[in-house]
Amino acid sequence: MDNVTVFQSTFILIALLLFVILLAIYALQKVRRGFLRLTESEEILEKGKIPGANKEMSFVFGAFQQTLQEITQKKQELIRMHQDAVERVRRMERYNECILESMVSGVAAFDRQGKLTSLNGAAARIFGRELGGGAIGQSYDEVLAGSEAMKEILQRVLQENRRILREEVLLTLPGGERKWLGVNVSPLKGAEGEMIGATLLFTDLTEVKELQRQVELKNRLAAMGEMSAGIAHEFRNSLGAILGYARLADRQAGENSVLREAAEGIITEVKSFDAMLSDFLHFARPMELNREACRLDELIREALEVLSDEIETKKAETKVECNEVPSLMLDRTLIRQSMTNLIKNALQAIPEGGSIAIEVQERTDRVEVRIRDNGPGIPRDLQKKIFEPFFTTKREGTGLGLAITQKTIVAHQGNIRIKSDPGQGTLMIVSLPSQGNAGTKGQRHKETGAKEKAGRT
């Protein structure tokens, strides 16, 4: 009984195994036939013919195949058009960026919340610091920190949705330098005409302002010269009479020491006043230039020679550095006197044992003379006054030396400016145009380490 049961169980297992094998073979054959049909269909699509098909089936299949090819071509064409559109957008973006970067005016854009969204390189240069990509997203309070007026204008545009044009504002840079900017601010519109922010366009007007100041100075000096020259001559005539009477009193004083001292005092004061009148007449009268080819480094050395005794008394150190610069068509006497005045002012400002550094540099269209001292510096509120006639902080002096110096430089189509901070010394920068000068490049002079007492370098 047990043997029969075992045999039956074995037979059933073998039968099931055979059935599974046959089923697997059938499934594999079915898959193989499907694969063969797929292969044949691909070959038919490639050849464009159906074996054994009638004309109607061939026509339908051909139309289907043509439609499929057209769809494929359209797809490729759409892909190509999309790629072309993307490339055009990229080219336009690069073109717009090139336009912005080539502008000399600064351009900055802000969103409705006053956050910076873009700016060009000129904006960073005008602001005197690297804004770059790190500034994107900053508030206008941070970006425009140097100009309260500019912040107020931008805020008004964002609030009132209107343009504000041709405003002039003052920008103070982190180092203390000040610039005048011409500002235009306009709302930035979206596709639907709604305001999405504001654009800020600003131009550096500092040089323009300086030119305006020089023109005003020329006009003021011309008017002053016409009016005061006659008055000064009348003063001089009166002084001549006073001086004559004082000398007569001095000769007739005899043993009267009180009268003699009074007469000598009058003579001294009259001579001092006459010297001031001479300076004033020099300042007031129209300046005529006798131009000739001059080397600025030679004129500076001549000025140092004139001041050598004062430099030696002050135990001052001087250094002159002059790279290769062209000769300029200048009035030798007037420019040498101007250099003497500037160096003398620096000498009077420094303490005993102080230093004066003089540098001559050629720029693109001008030559600069930079005179730097290590004196106490000039307060900011006095810097605009030091070139005004009769302004002086010294007990002695007429206050006309720097005024005459500025007039001389302006007459040569140049300019003079000052950079000074209390406790940091003073830098005087004289700029003279090199264009139109018939000078030639002089021999290269460069003295970088030599420092001599007595002012001779």
pLDDT in tens, 200-249: 888 888 888 888 887 887 777 677 666 777 777 777 788 888 888 888 88
The confidence score (pLDDT) of residue 234 equals: 77
Q: How confident is the model at residue 357 (pLDDT cuts 50, 70, 90)?
A: very high
More confident residue, 184 or 104: 184
Average confidence (pLDDT) over 381-409: 78
Residue (of 435, 444, 449) closest to 325 by Cα position: 444
Average pLDDT of the segment spanning 158-164? 88
The predicted model gives 23-34 an average pLDDT of: 63
Q: Is the pLDDT of residue 369 over 90?
A: yes
54-85 per-position pLDDT tens digit: 555 565 556 666 777 777 787 788 888 888 88
Structurally, the chain folds into a number of domains equal to 3
Q: Are residues 196 and 344 in the same domain?
A: no
Q: Is the pLDDT of residue 441 over 50?
A: no
Regarding whether 241 and 199 lie in a shared domain, the answer is no
| SS3 letters across the chain | CHHHHHHHHHHHHHHHHHHHHHHHHHHHHHHHHHHHHHHHHHHHHHHCCCCCCCHHHHHHHHHHHHHHHHHHHHHHHHHHHHHHHHHHHHHHHHHHHHHHHHCCCEEEEEECCCEEEEECHHHHHHHCCCCCHHHCCCEHHHHCCCCHHHHHHHHHHHHHCCCEEEEEEEEECCCCCEEEEEEEEEEEECCCCCEEEEEEEEEECHHHHHHHHHHHHHHHHHHHHHHHHHHHHHHHHHHHHHHHHHHHHHHHCCCCHHHHHHHHHHHHHHHHHHHHHHHHHHHHCCCCCCEEEECHHHHHHHHHHHCHHHHHHHCCEEEEEECCCECEEEEHHHHHHHHHHHHHHHHHHCCCCCEEEEEEEECCCEEEEEEEECCCCCCHHHHCCCCCCCCCCCCCCCCCHHHHHHHHHHHCCCEEEEEECCCCCEEEEEEEECCCCCCCECCCCCCCCCCEHHHCC
pLDDT at 60: 58
pTM of the model: 0.48
Are the beta carbons of 185 and 151 closer than 8 angstroms? no
The residue-averaged pLDDT of 389-394 equals: 72
Does the residue 60 lie in any domain?
no
**Pair 112, 188 in one domain:** yes
Q: Is the pLDDT at 182 greater than 80, yes or no?
A: yes
CA–CA distance, 91 with 97 (Å, rounded to integer): 10
Residue range 269-281, pLDDT digits in tens: 888 788 777 777 7
| Residue 191 lies inside a defined structural domain of this protein | yes
Q: How many angstroms separate the CA atoms of 46 and 41, rounded?
A: 8
Whether 120 and 193 share a structural domain = yes
State the pLDDT at residue 1: 44
Same domain, 419 and 300: yes
Residue-level pLDDT at 457: 33
Residue that has been written with the tokens 């000399």 in this structure? 104
**Does 87 fall in a domain?**
no
Same-domain status, 295 and 386: yes
Query: How crowded is residue 128: how many other Cβ atoms within 10 Å of its Cβ?
Result: 14
Q: Is residue 296 part of a domain?
A: yes
Based on the fold, state whether residues 369 and 253 are members of the same structural domain.
no
- The answer on pLDDT for 267 being more than 70 is yes
pLDDT in tens, 87-103: 888 888 787 777 777 77
Residue 34 confidence (pLDDT) = 54
Report if residue 96 sits inside a domain.
Answer: no
Terminus-to-terminus CA distance in the chain, angstroms?
Answer: 135
Among the listed ranges 121-135, 181-195, 320-334, which one has the minimum average pLDDT value? 121-135
375 CB contacts (<8 Å, ≥6 apart)? 346, 349, 350, 351, 354, 425, 426
The verdict on 136 and 254 lying in the same domain is: no
Q: What is the pLDDT of residue 365?
A: 83
Shared domain check, 407 and 258: no
Confirm whether 58 is domain-assigned: no
Summarised one tens digit per residue, pLDDT across range 407-428 is 899 889 898 988 888 888 899 9
Residue 236: per-residue pLDDT:
78
Q: Is pLDDT at 51 greater than 60 in this prediction?
A: no
Q: Taking residues 107-115, what's their average pLDDT?
A: 88
Do 307 and 434 lie in one domain? The reply is yes
Residues 379 and 268 reside in one and the same domain: no
Same domain for 276 and 180?
no
Looking up residue 404, the CATH number of its domain turns out to be: 3.30.565.10
Q: Alpha carbon of 109 to those of 72, 138, 149, 154, 183: distances in Å? A: 45, 11, 17, 10, 13
Residue 455, pLDDT > 50, answer no
Q: Is 107 within 8 Å of 100 (Cβ atoms)?
A: yes
Q: What domain range is 325 assigned to?
A: 291-455
Average pLDDT value for residue range 112-123: 85
> What's the mean pLDDT when you consider all of the chain?
78
Question: Do the domain assignments include residue 81?
Answer: no
Domain end (from 284, 313, 329): 284
Query: What percent of the chain is modeled with pLDDT above 90?
Result: 12
31 found inside a domain: no
Higher pLDDT: 110 or 22? It is 110
